[in-house]
Amino acid sequence: MKAVLRLTICILLFWVHPADCQSKMVKIKGGTYIPLYGRDSLKVTIVDFQMDVYPVTNKEFLEFVKANPKWQRSKVKKLFADKNYLKDWKSDTELGDQQSLKAPITNISWFAAKDYCECQGKRLATIDEWEYVAMSNETIPDARTLKSYNEFILGWYEKPKTFNNEIGSTFKNYWNVYDLHGLVWEWTLDFNSVLVSGESRKDVDNDTNLFCGSAAVGATDLMNYAAFMRYAIRGSLKAKYAMKNLGFRCVRDINE
């Protein structure tokens, strides 16, 4: 009942501020692939869906909290966001001095990200969907075995403070989606469904195809290293956590 009410309000708001709520999306054509890590190493089939071209920005999230005071820093329930939530903002409705309107919103919890998307009739991407889009480079849909692709990702791990950069500052991928790598981490709907304890040796035991097999460093090792970090960061999260390097974007199902 409450949910229905909330949805109605959201839809109302949606109509009131169409410009603020609608960021650009592109169609992702579904397909079948084998994710690097998963509950099992089986093939996953993705159906067609739409994805935001850019991560949600500071400006967009600012509008959102203005319209939804319960997501303002001083009003948010402790259960839904830890003390890092919007930590660098000057007040409930003002960004920090160092924060650009066009930089990705970070320091938000999973609950907040999820609600933001739902408010617009969207949702967060699943890990499998996110990885499916993110495995492309500029030109091909699955670049995971390319050295240059993995080096770009590994290189980002050593670039400090990229959360201050503006959206669109990395590359446009095969699907015309920007910033999946090189800007900030992104929340996914089921971020905690792939269990990575962070204790590497244990993880190796759990998932024998992780690092075993090849002795020499091949493309697959680089690929594993680059991707493993993403799974490790997801594994370290709790839904109420807010982090400076963690933002989000939304996706939408295509109803035919």
Partner 1 sequence: MTNLIKHIIMILKQDKLKIKLSSFLAYLGLVTVLLTVSCVNTKKKTYENTADIPVNREMVAELTAPPHVPTPVGKRLAKKLIVNMEILEKEGEMTDGVKYVYWTFGGSVPGSFIRTRVGDEVEFTLSNHPDNKLPHNIDLHAVTGPGGGATSSFVAPGHEKTFSFKTLNPGLYVYHCATAPVGMHIANGMYGLILVEPEGGLPPVDKEYYIMQGDFYTKGENGEPGLQAFDMNKAVDEDADYVVFNGSVNALTGDNAITAKVGETVRLFVGNGGPNLTSSFHVIGEIFDNVFVEGGDMINENVQTTSIPAGGAAIVEFRVDVPGTFILVDHAIFRAFNKGALGMLKVEGEDNKTIYSGVVQEGIYNPEGGGVQTMPDDGKAKQTVATTEKTLAEKMESGKQIYMQTCFACHQAEGQGIPNAFPPLAKSDYLNANVDRAIEIVLKGKTGEITVNGEKYNSVMTRQSISNDEIADVLTYVYNSWDNNKTNVTKAMVDRVKSGH
Cα(85)–Cα(240) distance, integer angstroms = 9
Would you count residue 60 as binding partner 1 (CB under 8 A)?
A: no
Neighbours of 62 (CB within 10 A): 19
Instruction: Tell me the per-residue interface mask from 74 to 103 with partner 1, x by CB under 8 A, - otherwise.
Output: --------x-x--x----------------
Shorter beta-carbon distance to partner 1: residue 41 or 197: 197
| Contacts of partner 1 in 28-57 (CB under 8 A) | none
Cα(66)–Cα(94) distance, integer angstroms = 10
CA angle 239, 127, 30 (to 5 degrees): 145
Cα(91)–Cα(76) distance, integer angstroms = 13
Q: Binding segment for partner 1 among 11-19, 93-101, 115-123, 226-234 (CB under 8 A)?
A: 226-234
Shortest distance (Å) from residue 207 CB to partner 1: 10
Would you count residue 217 as binding partner 1 (CB under 8 A)?
A: yes
Would you count residue 236 as binding partner 1 (CB under 8 A)?
A: yes
Q: Identify any residues that bridge with 46 across adjacent strands, giving them in sequence order.
A: 31
Residue type for position 192: N
Q: Binding segment for partner 1 among 94-102, 175-183, 187-195, 229-237 (CB under 8 A)?
A: 229-237
- H or E segment to which residue 225 belongs: helix 219-235
The residue among 234, 246, 223, 210 whose CA lies nearest residue 154 is 223
Burial class (CB in 10 A: 0-12, 13-18, 19+), 88: middle
Q: Binding segment for partner 1 among 14-22, 26-34, 116-124, 154-162 (CB under 8 A)?
A: 154-162
Cα(125)–Cα(52) distance, integer angstroms = 10
Shorter beta-carbon distance to partner 1: residue 31 or 155: 155
Shorter beta-carbon distance to partner 1: residue 50 or 164: 164
Shorter beta-carbon distance to partner 1: residue 50 or 84: 84
Residues in contact with partner 1 by CB under 8 A are 82, 84, 87, 107, 154-161, 185, 196-204, 210-211, 216-217, 221-222, 224-225, 228-229, 232-233, 235-238, 241-246
